[in-house]
Structure 1
Amino acid sequence: MSLQLSSKTRRNLTRIIPFGIIWLVSGWVFWIVEQAAVGNSYQDQSSRITMNFEVFLFSSAALMIVGLLIGTIELIYLNQVFSKKSFTKKIVYKTIFYILLLLIITFITYPIAKSLELDISIFDPRVWHMFGDYLTSITHLSTDIQLATSLLVSLFYSEISENIGHGVLMNFFTGKYHTPTEELRIFMFSDMKSSTAIAEQLGHIKYFELLKEYYADFTEAIIQHSGEIYQYVGDEIIISWRYEDGIANNNCIKCFFAMKKDLQKRTEWYSTNYGIAPTFKAGFHFGKVTTGEIGVLKKEIIFTGDVLNTTARIQGLCNQYNVDILISRDLCQSLLLEPEFRMQSLGRKELKGKEQDLELFTVID
């Protein structure tokens, strides 16, 4: 029986693992540089841990575990706690937190490593005497610089990943789309209803604050259903799936209804704070796109293809049909919806720029 991880768990793992790799690789680099620079010229060797195979394995495992621990704390907890702070304040507050954490880790790992090196009990007084010497030694300062460097690299990775998206960052690193690639993708164009009237009612600043909350409320549903945020365009959000991910378990359609449900849960909160409760409509379609990096001053990974224009036009017909969701016939034929969902044909419609009419469906849950 295979273990099936949820989309959210898989996403978290792919974001946390790089922290472990950053810490492991930086630890190895520092050790190599240190050996090349000073070798055995330390004046005080008593507090320094001599690297043997057993200590190397322990140190590598410890570095990896510390990196994974920091990644877990960073992504699961601290990102939420400091989400509304500026970039600089985030780095400062997180650095203070992690310095205290690393001091605790040092108090745990040094005695263990020293006891392994000397092949004696961790409770032997010699271990703790050497630990005292270590805290006031140049070796300790060198270790602190290494840990601080690993920490700063981790924090910058976290912030960059959060701002441009982990998937986009990984694609840049791997060069996946350095050469244009043809893909089959599903798109959802989602647009807030009556957004112009709401903006006029609230004013630009208050409306922008509402947009931030509005988009944040969609996050969980998008993650749980394997979606990828392609673009925010004003009050519109474009979500994309690789075809296989969007079709699996009807993720693309279930994502829409999960977004709708999460927004409805906060109706009272929006009414209290903004005097309105936002709602949205969405259009769905799929097709081939060309995906690749573009730009010189600012690089982006973009999709090009007729499917994007078609999906946008499908979404634009929601008001005409007085429905919240419209799906192309092509996508409907690829889905095997559960009995809780009912497809209803709305007939064929000529879309601007399309030679053939397109049959559209809505879904009733």
Structure 2
Amino acid sequence: MRNLSSALNWIFIAIFVAASGMLYNLLFGEPGRLYIGAIFALFCGIPILAFERGMFFPSLFHRIHRLPTPIFIASALVIDFGLISIGFAAAGSLLKSLGVLTGTWAQVTILPMDVFLYALAMSAVVVFVVRVRELLGRDVFFSLLTSRYRNPVPEERVFLFIDLVGSTAFAEKYGDLRAQQYLGSLFGAYAEHVWQHRGAIDDYIGDAAIITWPLERGIKNGRCIRCVFDILADIEKNSEFWLQTYGQVPRVRAALHGGFIITAEIGVDHHKITYFGDTVNTTARLETLCKTLERPVLISADLANRLMLPDDIVAEDLGEHAVRGRGQALGVVALARAEPKASRLSESNLRRLDAGHRHGSFT
């Protein structure tokens, strides 16, 4: 899924870059041969964008981004000029070799300054849009772009709160900078699985991440549950990396709940898509129950009743619990990956789980 989405992104970027080259040819070149502008644009623009994405020369990319701002800007201009010049020369050489261009080799391979400035401006537009999309997230970016939530919208959503255990102790032991790097690596590990299961990371609050899905998308094939356990499996699979890099393997607590909320775009100078309603607060309170009930993954019975468990996940009904800020008790279900040889559940719970699989219900 991630590879397909990335490929589609590059196709749209290539179309935009080619169109910008055709526009240049229309305004300043030969309107009858717009394809020439498209070819030059692709050869000049794509290398810059690939470099900005860290797809080649990644060490150089990271090195210049650590430089002070004035030096970074100067270095970036030099690199961009070099990449555009090489791309222009390659495109000119190809077109002249094919007999499409009839000018001298110098005319078709030496980059004119106006072409450089135009290519730099178009590349900057694409890089800016891509960076904003990454900053806001896919769903939020398109929602802001289309003004979907300019007026508040009632809808149903699934929320996943996932919290790192022991982050304060880690910061006290290794310092705040190391703790930030630790969290950054952990949040990066979340992202791949959230993307794979078509969720969106809504926010980071301290050492916790808030992930959300539209309800139907989140419960389809148990996506929201699969996302949690894929994250846990990924951490376990890469335990050696975590031990060698940070001296410990992360432990997380996760809570899932869903229901009606109001989604709205708020802010003046800084706009944000935000969610209002008891569902969000209940998910946060449910996550705090993980520690009290000594279970790493909890889901509300309300949400559990609306989905089918993945085959390798077992459920344990923990009954109803009072939740701060909520007028009525909340049914709570613990989730765990099934043990290969023997289940942790009692015989009665196994019968209950089997009924839940058949009817999609835990109550």
Same fold (TM over 0.5): yes
Distance change >3 Å, CA 123–CA 296, structure 1 → 2:
closer
In the alignment, what sits opposite 1:20?
14
Q: CA-to-partner distance for each residue in 1:141-160, whole Å, 9 max, x for gaps?
A: 33222212112222233333
Distance change >3 Å, CA 224–CA 318, structure 1 → 2:
same
CA distance in 1 between partners of 2:58 and 2:129 (Å): 16
1:110 correspondence with 2:92: yes
- Following superposition of structure 1 onto structure 2, how do residues 4-153 of structure 1 map, counting pairs within 5 Å? 6=1, 8-13=2-7, 15-31=9-25, 33-34=27-28, 50-52=30-32, 55-57=33-35, 59-60=37-38, 63=41, 71=49, 74-75=52-53, 77=55, 82=61, 85-86=65-66, 88=69, 96-110=78-92, 122=98, 127=102, 129-135=103-109, 140-153=112-125
Three-state SS of the structure 2 residue aligned to 1:317 is: helix
CA distance in 2 between partners of 1:103 and 1:303 (Å): 48
1:243 deviates by 1.7
Report the count of equivalent residues.
Answer: 333
CA distance in 2 between partners of 1:79 and 1:123 (Å): 33
Point out which structure has higher relative CO (alpha carbons under 8 A, 6+ apart): 1
Aligned counterpart for 2:211 among listed residues 223, 235, 239: 239
- Which structure 2 residue ranges, 5 or more long, are not aligned? 338-363
- Following superposition of structure 1 onto structure 2, how do residues 1-365 of structure 1 map, counting pairs within 5 Å? 6=1, 8-13=2-7, 15-31=9-25, 33-34=27-28, 50-52=30-32, 55-57=33-35, 59-60=37-38, 63=41, 71=49, 74-75=52-53, 77=55, 82=61, 85-86=65-66, 88=69, 96-110=78-92, 122=98, 127=102, 129-135=103-109, 140-365=112-337
CA contact (8 A) 1:27 1:146 kept: no
Three-state SS of the structure 1 residue aligned to 2:309 is: coil
CA distance in 2 between partners of 1:136 and 1:332 (Å): 65
Distance change >3 Å, CA 96–CA 221, structure 1 → 2:
farther
Q: CA-to-partner distance for each residue in 1:265-289, whole Å, 9 max, x for gaps?
A: 3333333343332210011001122
CA contact (8 A) 1:17 1:68 kept: no
CA distance in 2 between partners of 1:325 and 1:83 (Å): 37
1:16 maps to amino acid: W
CA distance in 1 between partners of 2:86 and 2:301 (Å): 59
2:107 maps to amino acid: D
CA contact (8 A) 2:44 2:83 kept: no
TM-score by structure 1 length? 0.79
2:37 maps to amino acid: S
1:22 deviates by 4.0
CA contact (8 A) 2:298 2:333 kept: yes
CA distance in 1 between partners of 2:164 and 2:175 (Å): 16
CA distance in 2 between partners of 1:184 and 1:90 (Å): 45
1:77 deviates by 1.9
CA distance in 1 between partners of 2:219 and 2:53 (Å): 28
CA distance in 1 between partners of 2:26 and 2:30 (Å): 13
RMSD between superposed Cα atoms in Å: 3.1
CA distance in 1 between partners of 2:167 and 2:110 (Å): 62
Deviates further, 327-336 or 272-281: 272-281
Three-state SS of the structure 2 residue aligned to 1:354 is: coil
CA distance in 2 between partners of 1:255 and 1:337 (Å): 12
1:269 maps to amino acid: F
Deviates further, 165-174 or 219-228: 165-174
Q: Give the fraction of aligned pairs with identical amino acids, expressed as a percent.
A: 26
CA contact (8 A) 2:160 2:255 kept: yes
